[in-house]
Amino acid sequence: MGSGFRICEIYFGAPCAVSVNPPLSLALLLAASLHFTLLGDHAGESPYLAVGFLAAGVGQLAIATLIAVQPSNVVYRAAIVLDVFLILLYAGHVLVGIPLPTGIGFELEFSPRESLDIGGLSTVIAELAAVALAYAALLAKPRPQTAAD
């Protein structure tokens, strides 16, 4: 049984659990699909950016699948680590650019700064939602098993 988030007790005084796993998986799937959608635009800038967007999307898709199939604290923590890293990487890309290989030896140069757009902001919002939901899943008390379960 997946980790639950006790909300009913606060409002109704009766214990019940609302699982955060479906919305968490949905937030990760949304962020992954946005990364896949934006892949082509960034491939024109740099093949390294395209690889990064592909890796981000595949990572989020894998974690969303694991949350749906076999949720655990390790998977919740992986979602948090990946999405916080991606949010910070996006912030760095917007503020100063990110270092990318030039193709000449081991030299790096900063990419042009990313402009704020609806695709990037939507991705960050989905990732922030995933981080919040994963924290909720980690902090939730396990629901006691009953005969009905």
Q: pLDDT tens digits for 120-131?
A: 999 999 999 999
Instruction: Tell me what pLDDT residue 105 has.
Output: 72
Secondary structure class of 103 (helix, strand, coil): coil
Contact 126, 23 (CB under 8 A): no
Q: Is the dihedral of CA 2, 6, 18, 66 positive or negative?
A: negative
Query: What backbone torsions phi and psi does residue 77 show, to the nearest 5 degrees?
Result: -65, -40
In this prediction the pTM is 0.79
Q: pLDDT tens digits for 75-91?
A: 999 999 999 999 999 99
Instruction: Tell me what pLDDT residue 146 has.
Output: 59
